[in-house]
Amino acid sequence: MHTRSLYFISAAVTSLFLWSCSGNNSTSSPAAKPGAPNTDYKPAFEGQTKIGRVKTATSYKVEKIADHLGIPWAIIPMPDGRLLLTEKTGYMEIVSTDGVLLKKITGFPEVNKGGQGGLLDVALDPAFTTNKTIYWSFSEKHGDSNLTAVAKGQLSEADSSIKNPVVIFRATPALKSENHYGSRLVFDKDGNLFVSAGERSILEGRKQAQWLNSDLGKVFKITKDGHPAPGNPFINQPDARPEIYSYGHRNPQSLDLNPVTGDLWEAEFGPRGGDEVNLIKPGKNYGWPTITYGIEYDGNKIGDAIQQKEGMEQPVYYWDPVVSPSGMIFYTSDSIPEWKNNLFIACLSSTQVVRLVIENNKVVGEESLLSDKKERLRDITQLNGKLYVVTDTGILYRISKS
């Protein structure tokens, strides 16, 4: 059982960098009116975008149960029924399901908290109840550059600190950018860790999303000690990083495992248009920046402005205009039966939780939740049939059956 469901990257260069920095995420240009598509690109198949809307029939309630939680980036459940949050500036918080701050956890390695960086995702070791080990991702400074790093250590609640922190993986090369770290963590059933890393926003990193000798724009599968997981697709290929599981990604901030099939699903930021949901298969190329359903922030085309190419995977679903997908979770509870196995994505610029109904690996329905709150929603998790959503402003919402 993985821990996110425990109990379940010239003028064009300048424009790209500035827009990627704005609002601490990649969003569409203000020149694009809300609801207006940025391109006239056509989907590769019916239902790949703008699927029919659905509406939850079950009565549910949304409660604001906490605020002033700093700048949260991730939220996950703990085995004893509490919640663990990461705070971007470099610490974690343990919070009750009623929103009460119980402990502040410190002692983490220094993070680069500029731009989109900071202390990012967190996952519990599958044997957390006995070894108290947690894993976290963060933006790590290297000289005048930065990279996405993954570390682990033991959570000591007695003195509210992390013990024996050690970095187990770094997505190299480090670049002079404070954006597109990606950075979600998910354990699989075998105890290996999936890690996502962005291409760092700047053009120097963007092209490396297609390079197998670079860690930028990739999803990795590693062991608890940071080694390549057995059976990885490029483990015996010369000039390829053996930790790579898939490649051709832009800024993947969403990962979760489908509770029915066990497949890995991912969502990532497009540029101006072209946010994607992908079904991740080992060794596959997801196309960025060669194929995309988006354009540059200044309105120019990207590359050859193509959306399909042989040998490159199509997204299961995409958005234009963007939604800015951050954390996501498959709902596994029976509390609201019509939500079971649906995918819920916390979104930033579109200030909503997107609910996707998925059948046979296709999106067949979409619903928007919490849009009335007008908050940038950073991450979402579930516990005891309830959904918990954190915002960039430090608010915690609980969604439950009425």
Task: Report the distance separating Cα 350 and Cα 378, nearest Å.
Answer: 11
CA distances from 129 to 78, 92, 223, 282 (A): 9, 18, 19, 30
Task: Report the distance separating Cα 304 and Cα 327, nearest Å.
Answer: 31
Options 2, 180, 227, 249, the catalytic residue: 180
Alpha helices in 149-233, H assignment, sequence order: 203-206
In 108-259, at which residue ranges do the beta strands (DSSP E only) sit? 119-124, 133-142, 145-156, 161-175, 185-187, 193-197, 218-222, 244-247, 251-257
| Cβ contact 365:52 at 8 Å | yes
Q: Which residues pair with 285 in a beta bridge?
A: 247
Is 249 assigned a catalytic role?
no
In 59-132, at which residue ranges do the beta strands (DSSP E only) sit? 60-66, 72-77, 83-87, 91-95, 101-105, 119-124
Number of CB atoms found within 10 A of residue 189's CB: 10
CA distances from 36 to 273, 321, 365, 368, 390 (A): 10, 6, 20, 17, 27
Task: Report, as residue numbers or ranges, the catalytic residues.
Answer: 180
